[in-house]
Structure formats: C-alpha cells, structure tokens
Amino acid sequence: MKNGYDNDPSCPPSEGEVLDGVMAVEAERDYNRPLFTIGITADLLGVSQATLRIWERKGLIVPSRLGKNRYYSRQDIDRLREIKALLQEERMNIAGVKAVLNRIRCWEEKSCGPRRFRCVVYRKIFGKKGKK
C-alpha cells in the first residue's frame, strides 16, 4: 500500500492509470486555480450574478479577488453546485447549508487528489445525478 488508498474500494484506480506525484500536484493546483469570472460561473451554475454575490455575503463562498473582480476555481464551482442543490432542491436554510459544508469529506481526509472524481461518495454529492 503506497499511498493509503490503493486498496480502498471506494476510490478504485482506473485501468492503466499513470499519474505520478508531479502530475497529481499540478492537477490539484489547476483544480484550485481561480479562472472563472462571476459571469461565467453564474452561467455554468444557472444562477444570476446577484445570487453568487448574496451567497458570498452570507459567507457560503469566498471567491478569489483581483482588484474588484471575483474569480472562481473549479473547486469553488463544485462547492457552489452543492450550495445550490442544498438551498433549492433540499430546501435548507443558510445555517443548515453552512453546517453541511463545514463537515470533513473523505477525499479531503484521504488526500485523494484527482482520483476523487471517480469516488462513489464524491459522485453522489457532485455527480451528474444531482438533479432529481
């Protein structure tokens, strides 16, 4: 067992996966890199820019800033998708959403890196099946 999750069936490696340490670090950096403007992020999520500003004001998300402009990473977009689902589909209030978002996720605990995208738990939360 090299990295602590090789034998974990919830995070199985894909067949023929070749991902060395440097590539994993770069992939993680890209996931956290703020690239998307508020307009692009709003379009991706199907919400208004005002909604994103409200969620920021309520403390649900903290986008990166360059001057007065907000920039969101892929990680931020995943979090925003979860926020949207909790507020709109699960009908949670802001306090409930904050409580759910503050829990520790298994892929953060295990440091799964890009492998988390194949994780059953990760897909259940962020996967395409999110719409009921």
CATH code at position 86: 1.10.1660.10
For residue 93, what pLDDT is reported? Answer: 94
For residue 31, what pLDDT is reported? Answer: 83
For residue 1, what pLDDT is reported? Answer: 41
Ranges of H-type helices in 1-132: 21-32, 38-45, 49-57, 74-84, 94-101, 106-110, 120-126
Q: Quick check: is 30 in a domain?
A: yes
The values of phi and psi at residue 71, to 5°, are: -130, 140
For residue 67, what pLDDT is reported? Answer: 92
Q: Quick check: is 7 in a domain?
A: no
Q: Which range of residues forms the domain containing residue 99?
A: 21-130
Q: Quick check: is 14 in a domain?
A: no
Structure tokens at 129: 């099946």
pTM score: 0.64
For residue 109, what pLDDT is reported? Answer: 57
Q: Quick check: is 72 in a domain?
A: yes
- How many domains is the chain built from? 1
For residue 39, what pLDDT is reported? Answer: 96
pLDDT along the chain (132 residues), means of 10: 50 53 68 92 96 96 94 92 92 91 68 70 61 37
For residue 88, what pLDDT is reported? Answer: 92
Q: Quick check: is 68 in a domain?
A: yes
Cβ neighbors of 5 (< 8 A, separation 6 or more) are 11, 110, 112, 115
Give the chain's length. 132
* Torsional sign, CA 114, 62, 94, 129: negative
Q: Quick check: is 121 in a domain?
A: yes
Partner residues linked to 65 by β-bridges: 70
For residue 29, what pLDDT is reported? Answer: 77
